[in-house]
Amino acid sequence: MASLYHRARVMTCAGSGADPLGLITDGAVLCEGGRVVWVGPDEDADAASRALDVVVAERVDLGGRLLTPGLVDCHTHAVFAGDRSDEFAMRARGAGYLEIAKAGGGIAATLGPTRAATDADLERLTVDRLVAARATGTTTAEVKSGYDLTIAGEQRLLRVIARAGAQAGVAVVPTLLCHVIPPERKADRDVYVRELAEVLVPAVAAGGLATAVDIYCDDGAFTRDETATVLGAARGAGLAVKAHAGQFSDQGAAELCAELGALSVDHVEQVSDAGIAALAAAGTVAVMLPGACVQLRLPPPPVARLRAAGVPLAVASDLNPGSSYSSSLPLQMWMATTHFAMSVEEAWLGVTRVAARALGLSDRGMLAPGARADLVAWNAEHPAAIPYQYGANLVDRVLVA
C-alpha cells in the first residue's frame, strides 16, 4: 500500500549543475513501506505506479506547496539538564567568556545538573527538544553526549539519546563527544585522555552506543595531540570520527581530521588554507554553526574560501544550553544566508543532502527512489521563503519514514 503526495512543488535536493535543488514545479512523490519509490512530474504518477506495480491507497493533495526532504540536523547537544539563561543575560549586557566562566558558567555549569538528573528526566528533556525540532522540519538529528564526561556517565547519555529518539519520532544518530577535560580530572589530564582512548571509546564501539566519535579541539578543550590519540582509537575501533575545531583558534585539527578520513569538522571559524585544502581533498564536510557564531559574536567562518576549494558545507543548529539554544534549522538557514553569505541553495543542501553526508548517511537528505520517506510540506512555494520569512514556522506537515 503506497501513498502519493501530489500537486506539490517538489524539491528533491538531488539535482546538479544549474539546478542543485532539483525542483519539479508540478511534482509528486510516491512512497511505500517507509521509502520513496518514485519522484517525478504529477502527470506521470499514475503510469509510474502501474509500472512499479504499486497500489496507491492514499492520495495527498498538497495544493501547490513546497515539498522537501525532511531536514537533517547533523550537530546537536540535545541531551542535558539545567538552566543557563543567566549566562545569556550576562552575555547580552556584554560579559565575555572569562567573566561568565568566573561566575560559574560554561560547560561546567551543565555538568552538575546533568550528572544529577535521573535517566527519566534526561529522556523527557531530550524528547521535548526533539519534538520541537520535528515541528520545524527536522526528521533526523545527530545528538552528542558530552555533558557528563565520566566513563560510565557518557555511556548513560548515549543510551538516553537512543531511547529519546525512539519516543520523539525523529531518527536519532548518537555520537560520543569528548567535550572538555572535566574539572575533577584537570590534574591528571593525561590519564583521562588515555581512559577515553583505551576504555570509553572501545566500550562505546563494543556496545553499539554510537557510530562516531567527536572531540572538541580548541583552546580550553583538547590539544591536537590529544585529539589524535582519541580519534585514532576511534578509527581503530571501527568508528567514524569528527571534531569541533577552530571555533576560537586553529590547532591544525582540519588537517588531522582530513588525514583520518573524518566525516566532518564543525565550526571552522579559524582554519588555514592548508586545512581547507586538506578538507577538500579528503571530501570532509565543514559544518557551519551560525547560531553559536552569531550568539558568541565571533567572526564568521571563511565560507568563500571553503566554497572556492570545493569543501562541502553543511548547516546545523548546534542546539546546546550555552551558545545556541535552538533546534530550528530554518532559523539557522536564515543566519547562514544572512550572516555567513551562503546562497539559499547552499543553505538548503546544508540542512539536507550535505548534512546527511556529514553523518555518513546516504539514504536521506534527498528525495529519490530508495531514500527514507522523510518529507516536509511547507506553507510556501519557493525554497527562499523558508530563510526569508525567518522566525515564522512555515511547516505544514512532517512525515517520518
Given the rule CB under 5 A, which residues bind Zn ion?
Answer: 318
Q: Which residues are within 8 A (CB) of 176 and not within 5 positions of it... i.e. 6 or more apart?
A: 144, 145, 154, 158, 200, 201, 204, 209, 210, 212, 213, 214, 234, 239
Residues pairing with 313 in the sheet: 286
Helices 119-135, 151-168: crossing angle, 10 deg rounding = 50
- Which is closer to Zn ion, CB of 54 or CB of 293? 293
Q: How far is the CB of 397 from Zn ion (least distance, A)?
A: 29
| Residue entry with cell 530554518 | 330
Strand (E) or helix (H) holding 6: strand 2-11
CB of 318 or CB of 346, closer to Zn ion: 318
Phi, psi of 87 (to 5 degrees): -65, -40
CB of 320 to Zn ion, least distance (A): 6
In the bound complex, what is the minimum distance in angstroms from residue 352's beta carbon to Zn ion?
20
Q: From the CB of 363, what's the least distance to Zn ion, in Å?
A: 24
CB closer to Zn ion out of 269 and 318: 318
Continuous segment of H or E residues that includes residue 162: helix 151-168
Closest CA to 201 of 242, 228, 238, 147: 238
Residue 220: φ, ψ to 5°: 80, 0
Stretch (H or E) spanning 288: strand 285-288
Give residue 146's region: left, alpha or beta (phi > 0; psi -120 to 50). Answer: left
Q: How far is the CB of 46 from Zn ion (least distance, A)?
A: 47
**Can you read off the three cell numbers belonging to residue 295?**
550568539
Least distance to Zn ion, CB of residue 319, Å: 9
- Whichever of 87 and 318 has its CB closer to Zn ion, that residue is 318
- What minimum distance in Å lies between the beta carbon of 141 and Zn ion? 13
The closest residue (CB) to Zn ion is 318
Name the residue nearer to Zn ion (CB basis): 66 or 315.
315
Q: Would you say 3 or 175 has its CB closer to Zn ion? A: 175
Helix (H) or strand (E) holding 61: strand 56-61
Nearer to Zn ion, 214 or 374 (CB): 214
d(Cα 43, Cα 48) in Å, to the nearest integer?
10
Question: Minimum distance between the CB of residue 244 and Zn ion, rounded to whole angstroms?
Answer: 5
Specify the residue, 247 or 337, whose C-beta has the smaller distance to Zn ion: 247
> Per residue in 33-42, is it b (16+ CB within 10 Å) or e — as a string?
eeebbbbbeb
Residue 198 grid coordinates? 583505551
Which segments of 337-381 are extended strands (E)?
375-378
Cβ of residue 179: shortest distance to Zn ion, in angstroms? Answer: 9
Contact 245, 223 (CB under 8 A): no
Taking every pair of Cα atoms in the chain, the longest distance, rounded to a whole number of angstroms, is: 69
Please report how close the Cβ of residue 324 comes to Zn ion at its closest, in angstroms: 8
Say if residue 384 is exposed, middle or buried (CB neighbours under 10 Å; 0-12, 13-18, 19+): middle
CB nearer to Zn ion: give 267 or 372: 267
Nearer to Zn ion, 250 or 318 (CB): 318
